[in-house]
């Protein structure tokens, strides 16, 4: 306890320092205005995108260029280390396929568990409520009870008065329905214990003390307990028994799988024979995984490249793929990393060099446009046109984020710059106008919120500088 108290105390002391900085930081009005001016600034600009694809056709890559690139980048063209596996898969679905529940077995279960297939009794009633307040005195409770008993005596003499008496019930919600309540099912709420003695429509109960007060019930309709027929539930019982049997057999098979794969670590045959499983194989796959669901599984990949499986050649431990399937793997083939021949990567290198050529051409054209103040250089073709963006905010989604970010990095109106997009297209951006943020555009609540944010950031900055200064002044002593 003392350790916990010390920890809390230390945390509070540290927070006091942090709160001292954040609670006393402040911002001048001109700082807030400068922040609004910059942060809420919008910009007008235009951009032109030069598609890299239009230059690919002009690239004439020679075999010599391909060979030179291959020789200079051999390490980029390696066939990685790969393994293929043998495996046995135990699945709940396969276990269940071999299970058949007969009608005799289902009927025996039905007879032994008849209570599971009962439809409980139900009552449809109207009621008259005499509410007893929570803080009612004993005298007040007795008075309300007496009123309820007098009402019951009157109903015994003249049951037809029930409908009229309902209008005076304290349950205002049910008055419109002549006191009717929803169907009451045995076992679902406290009412069934009060109603268990009435089964004939028209019966009226004496006043019953319930959590709500005193209530008089009149039975409108009654559905007795019934037992669902075997024919109605047979398929459900068969499914239930099949699932239970499958679960038991699956658990037993998992134990056998674990024991046999460990006892015969150099083969999957004993496991396959004992559990009637088929030994299957995967294709070769690298450490990054394969394309099959099994070879994509991280646990399978880790097991395949583990020392026990890869170097020692043992069976893996059982690997649970999901709740209903378990696998054991062992090494089938292993290939070391090797250099891919030029013939295998020639097409890839050619495409790469064509892309590099096209990107360079796109950039060269973009740089000419960027460095020339004229907007008329003969590139106003359908393929190349300026796109106009007006009043873009810093977080605008009107255009690609990289283009918008470049526009906000330009220092002044009429400035231009270019950027290579991830797909290789080259975009030139020209800034046409800057609109500073205005304090007048904010209401008082926004201004106050902004001021608090700026002051909080100043406080955090001051605290970080304070901590940094303490670290710089600290003397570390080795014990």
Given a contact cutoff of 8 angstroms between Cβ atoms, the answer to whether 162 and 247 are in contact is: no
Top-level CATH class of 121-224?
alpha beta
**What is the model's pLDDT at position 163?**
86
CATH code of domain 42-70+345-435:
3.10.50
Distances (CA, A) of 342 to 64, 67, 76, 132: 12, 7, 12, 94
Q: Which residues contact 161 (CB under 8 A, 6 or more apart)?
A: 154, 155
Given a contact cutoff of 8 angstroms between Cβ atoms, the answer to whether 353 and 59 are in contact is: yes
Q: Using a CB cutoff of 8 Å and minimum separation of 24, what contacts does 27-30 make?
A: 27/451, 27/454, 27/455, 27/458
Tell me whether domains 42-70+345-435 and 121-224 share a fold: yes
User: Which residues in the chain land under pLDDT 50?
Assistant: 375-378, 380-382
Question: Domain ranges in the chain?
Answer: 42-70+345-435, 79-97+257-339, 121-224
Given a contact cutoff of 8 angstroms between Cβ atoms, the answer to whether 39 and 32 are in contact is: no
**What is the model's pLDDT at position 383?**
66
**DSSP E strand boundaries for 201-351:** 208-210, 213-223, 226-227, 280-281, 285-286, 319-322, 325-335, 338-339
Look up residue 213 and give its two tokens: 């007060």
Burial (Cβ within 10 Å: 0-12, 13-18, ≥19) of residue 113: exposed
**What is the model's pLDDT at position 380?**
46
Question: pLDDT, tens digit, for every residue of 304-358?
Answer: 999 999 999 999 999 999 999 999 999 999 999 999 999 999 999 999 999 999 9
Given a contact cutoff of 8 angstroms between Cβ atoms, the answer to whether 56 and 340 are in contact is: no
């Amino acid at each position: 306890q003392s350790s916990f108290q010390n920890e809390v105390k230390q945390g509070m002391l540290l927070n006091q320092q942090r709160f001292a900085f954040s609670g006393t930081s402040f911002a001048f009005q001109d700082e807030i205005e400068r922040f609004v001016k910059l942060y809420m600034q919008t910009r007008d600009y235009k951009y032109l995108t030069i598609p890299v694809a239009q230059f690919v056709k002009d690239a004439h890559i020679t075999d010599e260029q391909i060979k030179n690139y291959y020789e200079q980048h051999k390490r980029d063209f390696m066939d990685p280390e790969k393994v293929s596996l043998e495996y046995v898969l135990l699945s709940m679905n396969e276990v269940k396929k071999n299970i058949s529940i007969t009608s005799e077995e289902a009927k025996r279960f039905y007879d032994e568990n008849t209570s599971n297939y009962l439809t409980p009794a139900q009552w449809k009633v109207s009621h008259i409520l005499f509410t007893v307040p929570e803080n009612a005195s004993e005298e007040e409770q007795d008075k309300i009870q007496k009123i309820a008993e007098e009402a019951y005596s009157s109903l015994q003499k003249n049951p037809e008065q029930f409908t009229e008496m309902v209008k005076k019930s304290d349950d205002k919600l049910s008055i419109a329905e002549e006191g009717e309540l929803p169907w009451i099912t045995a076992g679902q709420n406290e009412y069934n214990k009060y109603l268990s003695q009435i089964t004939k429509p028209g019966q009226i109960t004496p006043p019953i003390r319930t959590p709500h007060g005193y209530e008089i019930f009149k039975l409108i309709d009654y559905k007795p307990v019934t037992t669902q027929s075997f024919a109605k539930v047979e398929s459900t019982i068969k499914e239930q028994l099949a699932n239970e049997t499958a679960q038991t057999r699956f658990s037993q098979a998992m134990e056998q799988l674990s024991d046999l794969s460990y006892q015969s670590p150099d083969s999957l045959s004993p496991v396959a024979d004992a559990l009637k499983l088929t030994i299957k194989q995967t294709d070769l796959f690298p450490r990054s995984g394969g394309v099959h669901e099994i070879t994509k599984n991280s646990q399978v990949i880790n097991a395949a490249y583990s020392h026990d499986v890869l170097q020692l050649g043992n069976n893996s431990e059982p690997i649970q793929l999901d709740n209903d399937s378990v696998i054991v793997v062992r090494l089938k083939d292993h290939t070391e990393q090797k250099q891919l021949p030029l013939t295998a990567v020639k097409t890839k290198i050619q495409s790469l060099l064509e892309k590099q050529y096209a990107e360079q051409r796109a950039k060269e054209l973009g740089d000419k446009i960027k460095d020339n103040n004229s907007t008329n250089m003969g590139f106003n073709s359908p393929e190349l046109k300026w796109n106009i963006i007006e009043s873009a905010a810093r977080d605008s989604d009107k255009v690609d984020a990289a283009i918008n970010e470049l526009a906000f990095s330009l220092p002044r109106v009429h400035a231009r710059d270019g950027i290579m997009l991830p797909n290789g297209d080259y975009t030139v951006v020209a800034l046409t106008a800057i609109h500073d943020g205005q304090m007048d555009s904010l209401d008082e609540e926004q201004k106050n919120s902004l001021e608090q944010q700026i002051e909080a950031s100043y406080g955090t900055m001051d605290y970080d500088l304070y901590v940094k200064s303490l670290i710089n002044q600290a003397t570390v002593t080795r014990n």
